[in-house]
Chain A
Amino acid sequence: MTEILGVPVAVLSGQLMLGVINGAFYALLSLGLAVIFGLLKIINFAHGAMYMLGAMCTVLIFDAFGVNYWVALFVAPVIVGCFGILLEYFLLRRIAGQDHIYSLLLTFGIALILQGVLTNIYGVSGLRYSMPEMFRGGMNLGFMFLPYYRAWVIVAALLVCFATWFMIEKTRLGSYLRAGTEDSQLMQGFGINVPLLISLTYGFGVMLAAFAGALAAPIYSVSPVMGSNILIVVFAVVVIGGMGSIAGAVITGLMMGVVEGFTKVFYPEGSAAVIFLVMVVVLLIRPSGLFGKEA
């Protein structure tokens, strides 16, 4: 029982865990995309940049003010979320209701600016962020070694995903959000402040991305370019899952992380490409995506 298909169990489960962690980040990011898409009907091309801002912010407020990890985990998303609300208010709102291509290009331009400016200031090599004291080390589960921080990432990501699901499906604010997704004009007619709701939704989606970034800061290399590649993968995840349901986005994200982890064990060269290949297969068999409703 120490080997499965010729691969040691420790290696397999280790990669599997890394896969679940990547999957947790995909889940958080695609969840944010789906929330924004639901109400605003736009694809936020700046989502990767927001993830990057979350991570950068965590590092920078630590360097400048010595803000500790737990505070940063809360403060960084709030800062980035506020920034997102400003973007929505001053730019996105002005082109609302026009061809979706324009909002996509606008957010792409914003991403280029953010990434480019920060690259000029901090370079691409990456900043260091030291692991919080209490997360150093890990425990031996018998068949594998589990670092504490990685376990925490999975727990935290799943908690936030669950909280988001709960908020959208079970609370009054969430019911407004779902109603707005169906017909925002009618809702405006009922006296609900839709423009405010849109701002908050965009801010919240961006916050989820920044939270993922803050969570990633201690384990991934923090640099201005960290957002662009992961964003393309998340797009593929979103195409695979469809943006119809919250749970669908989360499940697809985790699943794709695991698929990627497995590929790393059996065919390392293909691990970067496997999610895109899954996307192609899904599109050929079920064009609306695994959890999608619309054609």
Chain B
Amino acid sequence: MANTTTQADIQQSIVQQQKSEQRKKQILNLVLLVLLLLAPAVMYPVFLMKILCFALFAVAFNLLLGYTGLLSFGHAAFLAAGSYTTGYLLSNFSGLTTEMGIIAGTAAATVLGLGFGVVAIRRQGIYFAMITLALAQLVYFFFVQAPFTGGEDGMHGVPRGHLFGLVDLSNNYAMYYFVLAVFLGGYLVVQRIVGSPFGQVLKAIKQNEPRAVSLGYNVDRYKLLAFVISASLAGLAGSVKTVVFQLASLNDAHWHMSGEVILMTLLGGTGTLLGPVVGATFVVNLEYQLAQGPLGDWVDPILGGIFVLTVMAFRSGIVGEIQNFMRKNMS
């Protein structure tokens, strides 16, 4: 008898602990949300929007690396696909409202993601990384040579237009709250996916793929779906970025961009929801600060150094390390 009561007690205390942890998380999220809503009062909105776009990009990437265990070295292709499609449509068809351009950009990235996924998922591990990198290079060459992309110069002067034909987005504050809404939407989608049964299967694939296969899951289909969702959110980030900066550039398609999003995710913390956001904020800030100072030309080696340091010394990333620390010292 005594034994069962203690078990029930333990269970109850676990439930309580989970509840209090959840409450803490909710409070943290609420605080962050308020900060994001107030941020444009103290900081330059365009800079904040840049951070939000890259944060969404990194969140999308993390769905693959952090929760499915797939390292894509070609995510720049999706960012660029969204970016160029939206830029082309909004520049050439003045009847389109902004959100239609963004939806079309996201759709283009989704289709591209399906194509990449079907090819790349045939191999695993490092081959997957090499294949995605090679495919992204193919897309890069396409964007260099295609007649509508403006080649090396990219597309300039993309109009921001009107949201739903009503809200004038040339106002930076209107633009900011729209970008914030898109970012939060993307973030919540990933949060929902990670918490769903589908997300649990993805995590199982990450931890032990052969076992997931032996349990009867059609692993390839799960991986493909995760890949397509990730690509489509990356495309969304690219589309919105084009609207914000009124510019689609070849930089978005370069392998360097694929490397940067990996760094953002890794540095912030793979497999944590907030990690990519923190990582993106850090990297965008760092690049901005370096560009101001005398070290402007040293961005690449410094990013490389951070790569090496993160992999060697703190692999869980900023958010991951904080979580580990809390777990050790607060329970």
A interface, CB within 8 angstroms of B: 42-43, 91, 94-95, 100-102, 104-106, 108-117, 119-120, 228, 232-233, 235-236, 238-239, 269, 272-273, 276-277, 279-280, 283-284, 287
CB pair A273 B301 closer than 8 Å: no
CB pair B134 A112 closer than 8 Å: no
User: Which residues of chain B have C-beta atoms less than 8 A from A238's C-beta?
Assistant: 130
CB distance from A245 to the nearest CB of B (A): 16
Q: Is the C-beta of B185 less than 8 angstroms from some C-beta in chain A?
A: no
Interface size on B, residues (CB 8 A): 39
CB pair A279 B312 closer than 8 Å: no
B311, closest chain A residue (CB): A106
B interface, CB within 8 angstroms of A: 65, 71, 119-120, 122-123, 125-127, 129-131, 133-135, 137-138, 141-142, 145, 255, 259, 262, 266, 297-308, 311-312, 315
CB distance from B32 to the nearest CB of A (A): 28
B116, closest chain A residue (CB): A280
Sampled A-B contacts (28; CB under 8 Å): A43-B130, A91-B312, A95-B312, A101-B71, A105-B307, A108-B262, A108-B304, A109-B303, A109-B305, A110-B308, A112-B300, A112-B301, A113-B305, A114-B304, A116-B300, A116-B303, A116-B304, A117-B301, A120-B297, A232-B133, A239-B123, A239-B127, A239-B130, A273-B138, A283-B120, A283-B123, A284-B122, A287-B123
User: Which residues of chain A have C-beta atoms less than 8 A from B119's C-beta?
Assistant: 280, 283-284
CB distance from B312 to the nearest CB of A (A): 7
CB distance from A147 to the nearest CB of B (A): 28
A-B pair number, CB within 8 angstroms: 113
Cα–Cα distance between A119 and B299 once the two chains are bound (Å): 11
A112-B300, A273-B142, A280-B119 are known contacts. Are A106 and B134 too (CB-CB below 8 A)? no
Q: A100, A110, A111, A272: which contacts B125 (Cβ < 8 A)?
A: A100
Q: B131, B137, B302, B307: which contacts A239 (Cβ < 8 A)?
A: B131
Cα–Cα distance between A132 and B120 once the two chains are bound (Å): 44
Q: B122, B145, B311: which contacts A102 (Cβ < 8 A)?
A: B311
